[in-house]
Chain A
Amino acid sequence: EAGVAQSPRYKIIEKRQSVAFWCNPISGHATLYWYQQILGQGPKLLIQFQNNGVVDDSQLPKDRFSAERLKGVDSTLKIQPAKLEDSAVYLCASSLSGPEAFFGQGTRLTVV
């Protein structure tokens, strides 16, 4: 079974630029999560989708972050404009039903 795919693996941008991350969940998984993991901290949930609807985005900085899940499959997370404090690993995860989530390898973002 293929795992959660994320791209790119690494991205370096200057502050105030925009960036987008892509995630392809495990086939058939209805739930998709985006987490932000800052160095030295545990992952923090940014947004959760159930199919193509948003379940929770209470911790998403909506003035600069946006996410969508087209047709309930792939998802993109966008940051515009980026700030230095956005430097982190962005993890995508999916689950079939219930709480067990499967994670992708993540995208490491460095904002300079």
Chain B
Amino acid sequence: AQSVAQPEDQVNVAEGNPLTVKCTYSVSGNPYLFWYVQYPNRGLQFLLKYITGDNLVKGSYGFEAEFNKSQTSFHLKKPSALVSDSALYFCAVSEPGGSYIPTFGRGTSLIVHP
């Protein structure tokens, strides 16, 4: 069965500093990987995805993520954090073929301090 782990409940970073939100996954085959962001009282918004190809994926709002197959990780990164990036971030994984059902991690709260 597929699963996702987000080891940090909360990440704190100062505005202007780089940020990393960690995600590791477990699937039986090649993964499809996603990052979503959730602002208060809003639904999940898609940030980026890895399906195949280049291990470094660029997404919305300056975010990027690096797929590392040997470490089964898909960490979310941004070179310079903004206060407006403060939100809840979810990593998700699905397996190709069949139903593509995404399984979500429990989320990481990112707090960017001015």
* Chain A residues proximal to chain B, CB less than 8 Å: 4, 6, 31, 33, 35, 40-45, 48, 50, 55-56, 91, 93, 95, 98-106
Contact = CB atoms under 8 A, between A and B. Distances in A.
A70 B44 CA distance: 25
Contact of B90 (A42, A56, A102, A104): A42
Given A48-B99, A56-B99, A91-B44, A99 B104 contact: no
Contacts, number: 60
Given A91-B43, A91-B44, A105-B43, A99 B106 contact: no
Contacts of A93: 44
- The interface residues of chain A, by DSSP majority, are classed as strand
Contact of B43 (A42, A95, A103): A103
A78 to B, nearest CB: 20
A36 B34 CA distance: 18
Contacts of A41: 106-107
Contacts of A98: 32, 51, 100
Contacts of A50: 99
Contact of B34 (A40, A44, A99, A106): A99
Interface string B70-114: 000000000000000000001000101001111111110000000
A43 B34 contact: no
A21 to B, nearest CB: 13
A105 B42 contact: yes
Given A42-B105, A45-B101, A45-B103, A100 B34 contact: yes
B93 to A, nearest CB: 9
